Amino acid sequence: MPKIPTFTAQARPTAEPTGVTTNLQLSPTATPAGALVKPLSKIADYYAREKQISNKVKAGELFGDATVDIFNAAEEAELKITPQEGIDYFNQQYNSIKNKYKSQAINSDVASYFDLEFSANKNKYVNNILSKTRTNLVTTRVNQVDQNVKSKIATALDGNNFQLNVLSEDIVNDYKGLVNDGIISEANFNAYKKGLPNLIEVEQVRKIARNNAAEAFAILLDTKNFTTIQGDERRKLRSEFGTLAKYQSDLITSALDTQVINKSKEFMNKYGSQETYGFSPEELQQYKIGDIEFDNQLDQVNEKIINKKFSFDTNYNINTDVISKIISGEVKNTKTKFLLAGETESKSILERAGDKTINNNDVTFLSDVITRTKNDTFKKQDEQFLNYFQNLIPLLQGNTFLNYFDKEYNSKASNLRQVLHKRYLQKLSEGFQSNDLLSYTSENYIAKDIKNYLPKTSDINSTIEEMVNSKKINVTDVIPKLEGETPQQYFKRIESGIDVEDTTAKDTLSP
């Protein structure tokens, strides 16, 4: 029979009862639920603190957004003229901003934290507003007195009986009011009184400058004039009046130029719109402007009309040369005298009117060009057009010889330039671009009917034959004619059979 094993215990006997040993110290009478009370309380405290921090963070975010609005409101309030206006405006904005952001709080705790933090900074803003608006109030009051003083000086200077002592006493009383208001001290008041003569002299010379800055500038060059104005103040006034004089001069010149140009156009349009024997002195007076030079030139044009010496012929090349003078800035208006190549006597556009180089339509056209040169954008547009049109001249002429015999060439060229320019300006006013209007490939090309204006060889041929046979011209003075050569043969020889209509190739029409 097998032997049952036996075990021998190694542990030492103790006084502890049999059971599981733990580190928990429990009262023999405590229950398990009671043992968990303290740990659960600590966890609750931790989560409560975490929630509190979270609420503060949310409130801080709202406060950060609101701070931008309240800062802007405070700056606007600081611009108010009086402290009361500033504070009233700020309080209104303050409450509106607070309610706006407080309503965005996710719970009452966030709202409370936001309210406390938002309200904590109010006094800082209020104090700044009071400080700035008080300064504004003082500045406004001082400026009002200063403006009132200058107004009284200006009124006194405009009167016939300027009495310095009466004016001074009145102004001193205004300054005394600032002392009574507590705005300036007695020292400041005495400084104002001492500076009064200087203030009056400055206003006197400014009055002169308003009408004639150049005169005021010249007056200040003499140190014996306006002796209270010294040093930097005198230099600054001279600089100011020098700039003003230039402005006044340019303004007057521009106004005169405009008046001269407009009256020239009115006169020519009236003359060209109906058959007339000239204008009576009374009728002519409505076109005069009081400028001796212009009025005299207008009289000269009227005399040409009355004496039937006003020619409606035109010279394209002369007009082109005049345009060059205009573009360069040499010709400012229709009365400006200028020299052209080969001339010894300067003459204006008006003086040239009716002398077979510039007719009434040319005067109007040239006047428009002058007006447009005074605007940089319009000037560039016209320069583009004029350069483009110059490239059309070979087409319009056919060639030099045809031009010699075509006595209507100048008239046709001048007329075409004016017709196309008018179209050009109309299209520009409708919003089209210069390059588009001057490109033969464009649908908006202004010279689609160009062939209607080009000379035809057949027409010129018959004209030459008629003129040669009638001996109205001596062709040998131009190109020698061969013996026995007919006009047709002569013309064909020198022209090599070229027909002007064949020269209208696309590349030639390109601007």
Where does 159-230 have alpha helices with state H?
164-180, 186-211, 213-221
Strongest mean pLDDT among 410-414, 422-426, 473-477: 422-426
| Residues 369, 357: Cα–Cα separation, whole Å | 17
Evaluate whether 145 touches 178 at the Cβ level (below 8 Å).
yes
The token pair that represents 405 in the structure block: 């015999």
Evaluate whether 241 touches 217 at the Cβ level (below 8 Å).
yes
pTM confidence score: 0.54
The token pair that represents 347 in the structure block: 């003459």
pLDDT tens sequence across 262-283: 999 999 888 875 556 788 888 8
Closest CA to 287 of 263, 256, 270, 262: 263
115-119 — which CB contacts under 8 Å span 24+ positions? 117/59, 117/60, 117/63, 118/63, 118/66, 118/70
pLDDT tens sequence across 326-381: 999 999 999 999 999 888 999 999 999 999 999 999 999 999 999 999 889 999 99
pLDDT tens sequence across 33-54: 555 455 656 666 666 677 778 7
Least confident of 245-254, 315-324, 404-413, 431-440: 404-413
Is the pLDDT at 406 greater than 50? The verdict is: yes
Mean pLDDT over 465-482 rounds to: 54
Detail the DSSP E strand segments found in 240-358: none
pLDDT tens sequence across 139-174: 888 888 888 888 888 877 776 666 777 778 888 888
User: Alpha carbon 102 to chain centroid distance?
Assistant: 47
| Residues 472, 67: Cα–Cα separation, whole Å | 98
| Residues 260, 159: Cα–Cα separation, whole Å | 36
Is the pLDDT at 499 greater than 90? The verdict is: no
Mean pLDDT over 302-314 rounds to: 90
| Residues 139, 467: Cα–Cα separation, whole Å | 90
Q: How far lies 56's CA from each of 49, 104, 120, 182, in Å? A: 11, 14, 15, 48
Mean pLDDT over 306-310 rounds to: 89
DSSP state of 480: P
Is the pLDDT at 485 greater than 90? The verdict is: no
The token pair that represents 9 in the structure block: 């215990």
Evaluate whether 163 touches 113 at the Cβ level (below 8 Å).
no
Q: What are phi and psi of 353, to 5 degrees?
A: -60, 130
- Strand (E) or helix (H) holding 484: none
